[in-house]
């Protein structure tokens, strides 16, 4: 099980408050990612199908005995289970084992990383994030379960981690990056994965074949409420005196940084993946204008 490498600022926080803030963060993020539960189920199902102990490596395919990405949700009603939001996809693969080494990019306070660590208790799970407040919450909320790597996804984050990995995830993180940095993230992820390893990026990825439909689906109906919940969450965190040093550090880091809100269509992501050497890629989950793309190294 992974150890926790704390961020530079590590206050002594009330465990009850930490749990409340992390649960609140999960709820806020669910507002920005419609169908978040079904997205997570799909990510876990694909990871177990491609990276689990039964997924033998093959030099020509990357995923020998396991199904390819196009097969994971085909036939037998699998497609419906993966997308129904009821957790059917995750249940179908329960007990099948998972990846041995996992890295979550832009993992914030570590709620998804911790769930992966609990689901795959033998795995080494790491998290990359730049925000000192979120890293402090991750360190306090998942001690001994998740290794923290304070690093900038817009810079040379791959130099700070200890690959190679079987699975790298990036959930609602890539849209913060400008186009060049987003393309570099694919390159860095490819270099940090073992041959046959899996990258899954979940974000706002419109389907270029449905431009009219996508325009009606984004912004989603709950976006305004999610934005308000985000503001309230940060107001509560700022009221915690023990987080004051981390908050000051955060302000210095983000003073001149503005989220790029770069949300290209799926085709851009597939091209970026193939340009840096991923052998296959495709959508494994979609909910409106949001999608999860999986790419095999």
pLDDT digit string, tens, across residues 215-260: 666 666 567 788 899 999 999 999 999 999 999 999 999 998 888 9
| Residue 191 pLDDT greater than 90, yes or no | yes
Tell whether 3 is covered by a domain. Answer: no
| Residue 7 pLDDT greater than 90, yes or no | no
Cα distance between residue 112 and residue 135, in whole Å: 13
The count of structural domains within the chain is 1
Residue with more model confidence, 200 or 224: 200
pLDDT digit string, tens, across residues 137-181: 999 998 889 999 999 999 999 999 998 999 999 999 999 999 999
| Residue 293 pLDDT greater than 70, yes or no | yes
Does the pTM of the predicted model rise above 0.85? Answer: no
Q: Which string of DSSP letters, residue by residue, matches 136-185?
A: HHHHHHSTTTEEEEE--TTS-GGGGS---EEEEEEES-GGGS-HHHHHHH
Tell whether 235 is covered by a domain. Answer: yes
| pLDDT for position 72 | 41
| pLDDT for position 81 | 33
Tell whether 5 is covered by a domain. Answer: no
CATH code for the domain of 288: 3.40.50.150
Cα distance between residue 192 and residue 186, in whole Å: 10
Tell whether 1 is covered by a domain. Answer: no
Mean pLDDT of 15-23: 94
Cα distance between residue 41 and residue 90, in whole Å: 5
Tell whether 212 is covered by a domain. Answer: yes
Tell whether 4 is covered by a domain. Answer: no
Cα distance between residue 141 and residue 162, in whole Å: 22
Tell whether 19 is covered by a domain. Answer: yes
DSSP letter, residue 108:
T
**Domain limits for position 82:** 15-296
Tell whether 250 is covered by a domain. Answer: yes
How high does pLDDT run on average in the chain? Answer: 83
């Amino acid at each position: 099980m992974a150890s926790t490498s704390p961020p530079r600022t590590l206050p002594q926080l009330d465990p009850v408050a930490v749990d409340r803030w992390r649960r609140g963060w999960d709820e806020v993020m669910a507002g920005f990612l419609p169908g978040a539960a079904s997205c997570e189920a799909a990510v876990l199902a694909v990871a177990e199908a491609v990276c689990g102990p039964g997924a033998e490596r093959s030099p020509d395919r990357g995923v020998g005995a396991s199904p390819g990405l196009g097969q994971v949700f085909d036939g037998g009603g699998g497609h419906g289970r993966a997308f129904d939001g009821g957790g059917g996809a995750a249940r179908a693969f329960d007990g099948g084992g998972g990846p041995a080494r996992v890295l979550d990019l832009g993992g914030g306070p570590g709620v998804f990383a911790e769930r992966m660590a609990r689901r795959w208790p033998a795995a080494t799970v790491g998290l990359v994030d730049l925000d000192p407040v979120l890293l402090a919450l991750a360190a306090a909320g998942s001690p001994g379960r998740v290794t923290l790597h304070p690093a900038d996804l817009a810079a040379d984050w791959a130099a700070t981690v200890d690959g190679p990995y079987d699975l790298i995830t990036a959930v609602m993180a890539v849209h913060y990056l400008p186009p060049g940095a987003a393309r570099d993230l694919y390159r860095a992820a490819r270099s940090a994965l073992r041959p046959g390893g899996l990258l899954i990026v979940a974000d706002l990825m419109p389907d270029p074949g449905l431009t009219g439909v996508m325009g009606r689906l984004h912004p989603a109906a709950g976006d305004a409420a999610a934005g308000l919940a985000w503001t309230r969450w940060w107001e509560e965190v700022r009221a915690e005196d023990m987080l004051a040093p981390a908050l000051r550090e955060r302000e210095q880091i983000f003073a001149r940084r503005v989220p790029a809100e770069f949300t290209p269509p799926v085709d851009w992501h597939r091209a970026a993946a193939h340009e840096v050497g991923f052998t296959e890629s495709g959508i494994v989950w979609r909910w409106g204008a949001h999608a999860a793309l999986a790419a095999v190294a």
